[in-house]
Amino acid sequence: MTETILRVLIYGLLSGGIYALISMGLNLQYGVARVLNIAHGEFIMVAAFLTYTLYIGLGINPLLSAAISGPLLFALAFAIHRTLFKSLRTRAPSQGAFEGNSLLAAFGLLFVIQSVATLIWGTHVRAYTYLNVGVDFAGTTYTANRLVAFGVALGVSAVFYFFVTRSRLGKAIRAAAQDPATAGLMGVNINQVLALGFGLGALLASLAGLLISMYNTLTTGMGLPYTVIALIVIVLGGLGSIPGSLIAGLIIGITGEIVATLWDPSLSVVVYYGIFLLLLLLRPAGILGKR
């Protein structure tokens, strides 16, 4: 019994760490750049396929390929923000109008990225094996790749947290998130910082995609479910709160694992929504965020 509980908890944490990483990226993009990036999962998917291609084609270690896929996706997202979202921002009459329009544009991005990826990689299910060795712990065998993925996810989250709270650039990002106009007056290059926030979100997504590719199968449609989970996590954890995303990510991971063990894996999403609804009814102020 204790063994089962421990196993469920550990598996939950293993998924939760990845969810937290994904959600932090999305939270950053919405919190700073005010873009509810529905295409977030597509960046995860692209990174996963890049990792796969680099490993199978060139034999580059998946963990090291972050040095290639990370900067690549960061640059892509940075460029997208500097062109598409910046021009939407300058044209929008109000914050609300910008958020609505950028959401629509992000839908467009979702379609574009997903179909380009399908043109490149096809519709086959892909997978590779890396670190697929068993590690015994507390009576259950876990595969090493999942443990490594969890460790890396936590490490990256910690580094990211200290970057945002301690560094000068992190301070500029937080200032831009609070009030772009005032931050601009205080000498923050606002367009640069907003694009940076958006790019960093994509960087986190790319790392998550890399880690997911180590233990999961890949299809070009894999991104959207992760976006949905990330959306639920940031609503649960609170907008703009990085520790909130981390904790909520772990909670969602564990909940999903409990539901999958007790009832049915397909019910996880239903239960996430149950939690979401319950919180909404009990503590609407917590969910309404900044207002």
Partner 1 sequence: MDVTRLLKPRKLLVPGLLFVLLIFLVTFPFYGLPVYYVVLFFTFFLFAILAMSWAMFSGPTGYMSLATAVFLGVGIYTTTILYSFVKRDILSTLPVDALQPVVTVFLIGAVAAGGLVSFIFALLIGLVTLRLKGVYFTIFTFGLIVFVMQLVLFLEIHITGTRGRSLILPGTGAPLAGTTTIYYIMLGILIATVVTAYFIRRSRLGLAMQCIGGNEEAAAHMGVDTTRVKVLSFAISAAFMGAVGAIMAPRLTYIDPGIAFNMLYSFMPVLMAVFGGMGKLYGPVIGAVIFTYLQRTLMTELPQYYMLTFGIILIICVLFLPGGLVGLIPTLRSRLGRLTVKLRKGREARQHANT
Map the footprint of partner 1 across residues 117-136, applying CB under 8 A. 118-119
**Per-residue mark of binding to partner 1, 22-61 (x: CB under 8 A):** --------x-----x-x-----------------------
**What is the C-alpha to C-alpha distance for residues 28 and 141, in angstroms, rounded to an integer?**
35
**What is the C-alpha to C-alpha distance for residues 13 and 15, in angstroms, rounded to an integer?**
5
Q: Are 248 and 233 in contact (CB under 8 A)?
A: yes
Please pick, from the candidates 68, 103, 131, 154, the single residue that binds partner 1 as defined by CB under 8 A: 103
**What is the C-alpha to C-alpha distance for residues 203 and 73, in angstroms, rounded to an integer?**
6
**Residue number, 66 or 105, with CB nearest to partner 1:** 105
Please pick, from the candidates 4, 75, 111, 186, the single residue that binds partner 1 as defined by CB under 8 A: 111
Tokens found for residue 208: 């998550």
Neighbours of 100 (CB within 10 A): 14
Cα end-to-end distance, the chain, whole Å: 45
288 binds partner 1 (CB under 8 A): yes
3 binds partner 1 (CB under 8 A): no
255 binds partner 1 (CB under 8 A): no
Q: Are 167 and 257 in contact (CB under 8 A)?
A: no
Q: Alpha-carbon Rg of the chain, whole angstroms?
A: 19
**Per-residue mark of binding to partner 1, 192-221 (x: CB under 8 A):** ------------------------------
Provide the minimum distance between the beta carbon of 92 and partner 1 in the complex, in angstroms, as a whole number: 9
**Residue number, 156 or 194, with CB nearest to partner 1:** 194
The SS3 assignment for 284 reads: helix
- Which amino acid belongs to residue 117? A
Tokens found for residue 171: 């301070």
Provide the minimum distance between the beta carbon of 223 and partner 1 in the complex, in angstroms, as a whole number: 12
Please pick, from the candidates 67, 104, 125, 186, the single residue that binds partner 1 as defined by CB under 8 A: 104
Q: Output DSSP code: residue 35.
A: -
Please pick, from the candidates 88, 207, 248, 254, the single residue that binds partner 1 as defined by CB under 8 A: 88
**Residues contacting partner 1: total by CB under 8 A:** 47
**Residue number, 116 or 133, with CB nearest to partner 1:** 116
* Window of 43-51, 53-61, 200-208, 269-277 that interacts with partner 1 by CB under 8 A: 269-277
Neighbours of 92 (CB within 10 A): 16
Distances (CA, A) of 199 to 26, 75, 129, 266: 11, 7, 29, 33
- 135 forms beta bridges with 142
Please pick, from the candidates 96, 136, 166, 181, the single residue that binds partner 1 as defined by CB under 8 A: 96
Interface with partner 1 (CB under 8 A): 30, 36, 38, 84, 87-88, 91, 96, 99-101, 103-105, 107-116, 118-119, 224-225, 228, 231-232, 235, 264, 266-267, 269-270, 273, 276-277, 280-281, 284, 287-289, 291
